[in-house]
Structure 1
Amino acid sequence: MAKKVSKAAALLKDTKVKAKASGAKLYSIAKNPDTQAKAKKLLEDGKKMYRAASSPEAKEAYRQAAEIIKKARKK
């Protein structure tokens, strides 16, 4: 029983060390100005794509395409 407890304790210590190392690495990546700039650019691109996809013109195009598909299925 003592061996199982010591193995579990060692596993927990090892996991703690790995978690701390992963957290530190993630923090350093997040603080990198290049990474921040890239994330900001991706966010802006995503916003543009969302606006384009949810615009009234896009909704009208979707409706027209849906009608064409519906007519094609009926034939």
Structure 2
Amino acid sequence: MRQDLVQDGEEEPMTPMTIVVTRDELVARRNRILQSLGTSIEALRERAESGSPSAEEWEAIADLEEISFLLDDSADDF
């Protein structure tokens, strides 16, 4: 059995931990991401469509897509 899957001294694999996040927390996280970039979601969408986002913006887009999925927003948008 792989050592990284075993808790201290136990022989059974570690159980995956479930993280609970509220809708308000996800919306706040989305707002913080946009604020850290100094842009609006509309402006970021335009840059993404034109293929000109920076590396930092591409990373933020990936995070925003995950948040959108968790919020059950449009699957092809962020």
Q: TM-score under structure 2 normalisation?
A: 0.28
| Greater relative contact order, per chain length (Cα 8 Å cut-off, separation 6+) | 2
Write 1 or 2 for the structure with the bigger share of helix: 1
| TM-score scaled by length of structure 1 | 0.28
Which has more radius of gyration?
1
